[in-house]
Amino acid sequence: MGANTSQVSDLSDNPSLKALVGTESISENDPFWNQLISFTFISPTNSGDSKSLEEAVIPLAKILIENNPRTGNFGALVRIFLGRTKELKISTECQDQLFIWQAHNALLMIRCLLKVFIREMSEEELHLQFSYHERAPGSFEETGNEDLLEELLSNLVHLIVEVPLLDITYNILFEAVTTLLVFFSYQLFHKDILRGGIICQHIMKGRCMSLTSRLVKTLLYNFIRQEKCPPPATHIFEPKAEGGLLYGLASGVANTSTLPMEQPHAFQINFNSLYTALYEQQRSDQVTLLLYTLLHQNANMRTYMLSRTDMDNLVLPILEILYHVEERNSHHVYMALIILLILTEDDAFNRSIHEVVLKNISWYTERSLTEISLGSLLILVVIRTIQFNMTRTRDKYLHTNCLAALANMSAQFRCLHQYAAQRIISLFALLSKKHNKVLEQATQSLRGRQGDNTALPDYAQDLNVIEEVIRMMLEIINSCLCNSLHHNPNLVYALLYKRELFEQFRMHPSFQDIMQNLDTVIGFFSQRLEQAGSDLSVERVQEVIMKGAQALPKDRLKKFPELKFKYVEEDQPEDFFIPYVWSLIFNSGVGLHWSPHGIELFSMDSG
């Protein structure tokens, strides 16, 4: 490195790098620094290149760890970077690339060294590496109480929020975000969540605290823009006709006039642009997680999303994620389901999804759906997820959230597609079959136990779980019949067609109360069909059902409390989300690579 093009293979023999990590202190005023950071080197943007770079840096970094307490060269490099960044914003406005180029190169070197440091030492020891000063007299003054680590962290955040995202600043902004991730990566090597570390304290309580809103806002706008990495030869700033980032920031004002002024960290953002970016990118874990965070944590964004008349744009990608459940990791599926649960807490959403008619859903391959409402499709996908979970993962929380979403929707079911109605009853049939199987296993186990002291499987617990799910399904069917029977002739048809499924539960103490309404409906329509004659066509049966639905007195059905379920986050959600977020970073392969050896935060197969 130094005034030429550098390659990974050259690093170990590079004289400038040898001087940096060597035993001699280098004054900040020495021309050496200008030469050191004047090189052409394309930052790695994939895991493979990052791995090669790190392997080349490790020997140099370990030498620096030994010598830095005497030379203070690492701290000097950090100060050189800080000095270059002071002029970055002006350099960007003047299209002067020299400071941007040199600042990027200095930060790239700092980041590469930090990554090795963090793997080799504790946070306290890292803090010391920033505090060591050059010991030769006269070169520069001691700064006393200066905390160079906090200064660097604060500078990185300032850089991200102050410098506009342009072709000529893309690489240094990418490097700034990547360096922050490297700082935070201490968490990877600890199983417990780090809540009180030095770096965390600086970010959460130090000088960075006042910039948190602007940082989140800037990162969200970067997400909205989805800028691609400019080609390596890009050196000329070309202004965007629409004004780029600054225009985007200004255009957000109108969307957030309702934000309470007393919220100290509130900021303005263009909800329409954010909504569009969310549904256009809604197929990756990262974007699903971002959507969840906005829906759950930001009431204004949630209200805006629920007011949209094109909710199918957002919901369809979520349903596609769930439809391909076997190809997704469990966390991604869980996030998608929670999003649906949050959406179904809103009655207007539950009504409107049955008014949106979709045609030819190409990714739904089990059956040709030439025309179906969004609501019916949602029901089909959630039921499919339940059935997948029953046969594969058997995750109780997955069941609970699926059923809660269906329950929230049930009173608003409208004009259910015949296939959706069939699948509701088919799911009940599957649960009934599973219930009978567990009962049979328990009976056989008790018969064969005589004289045998070996432990038995807990069939009572299995039976209790399956009966809870059956109860929930009966409540969902009952809720639809009580609130919108006349809107759902296909469900009544499916119920009558499989009426024998419900016989065994009529006198069961766990289901007796809820079965009264189903018995009433089955009995009422069965009598109507008998009166209509024998050998009825499907069309004639549907006609009898539709007329009967108008004639059934509502007071014949017993009233039950409305089914309403609300998503509540765990007491310490960080125990779930921090490992999940880091698993996404670890597996993303964008500009960073970590060896799986020594990773404690999550297992390698958790993704």
Residue appearing with tokens 């905390």: 147
What average pLDDT does the segment 218-224 reach?
95
pLDDT of 486-497, one tens digit each?
999 999 999 999
What average pLDDT does the segment 453-460 reach?
64
Q: What is the pLDDT of residue 149?
A: 96
The pLDDT confidence band at residue 452, using thresholds 50, 70 and 90, is low
pLDDT of 504-517, one tens digit each?
998 888 898 999 99
The pLDDT confidence band at residue 255, using thresholds 50, 70 and 90, is very low
- Identify the structural domains of the chain with CATH numbers, from first to last: 8-251 (no CATH), 271-446+458-556 (1.25.10)
What average pLDDT does the segment 353-372 reach?
94
d(CA 349, CA 346): 5
Least trusted range by pLDDT, from 206-215, 317-326, 402-411: 206-215
The whole-model pTM stands at: 0.87
What average pLDDT does the segment 296-325 reach?
95
Rg (CA), the chain: 31
What average pLDDT does the segment 348-353 reach?
96
Q: What is the pLDDT of residue 155?
A: 95
Average pLDDT, the chain: 86
pLDDT at 260 over 50: no
Task: List the one residue out of 529, 466, 531 whose CA is nearest residue 495.
Answer: 529
Least trusted range by pLDDT, from 115-119, 494-498, 533-537, 559-563: 533-537
What average pLDDT does the segment 355-380 reach?
95
d(CA 155, CA 173): 12
Task: List the one residue out of 128, 82, 131 whose CA is nearest residue 107.
Answer: 82
Cβ contacts of 113 within 8 Å, gap of 6 or more? 57, 60, 61, 64, 74, 77
Q: What's the token pair of residue 6?
A: 């550098």
The pLDDT confidence band at residue 261, using thresholds 50, 70 and 90, is very low
Q: Of the ranges 118-122, 245-249, 376-380, 565-569, which is most confident? A: 376-380
Q: What's the token pair of residue 370?
A: 């030439």
Cβ contacts of 211 within 8 Å, gap of 6 or more? 154, 157, 158, 161
Q: What is the pLDDT of residue 219?
A: 95
Task: List the one residue out of 547, 548, 506, 502 whose CA is nearest residue 525.
Answer: 548
pLDDT at 119 over 80: yes
The pLDDT confidence band at residue 7, using thresholds 50, 70 and 90, is low
d(CA 486, CA 468): 28
The pLDDT confidence band at residue 243, using thresholds 50, 70 and 90, is very low
pLDDT of 186-202, one tens digit each?
999 999 998 888 998 88
Angle of CA points 129, 130, 132, to nearest 5°: 70
Q: What is the pLDDT of residue 450?
A: 56
The pLDDT confidence band at residue 93, using thresholds 50, 70 and 90, is confident
Q: What is the pLDDT of residue 141?
A: 42
d(CA 288, CA 16): 45
SS3 of residue 378 by DSSP: helix
Taking residue 302's Cβ as centre, other Cβ atoms within 10 Å add up to 17
What average pLDDT does the segment 542-560 reach?
89
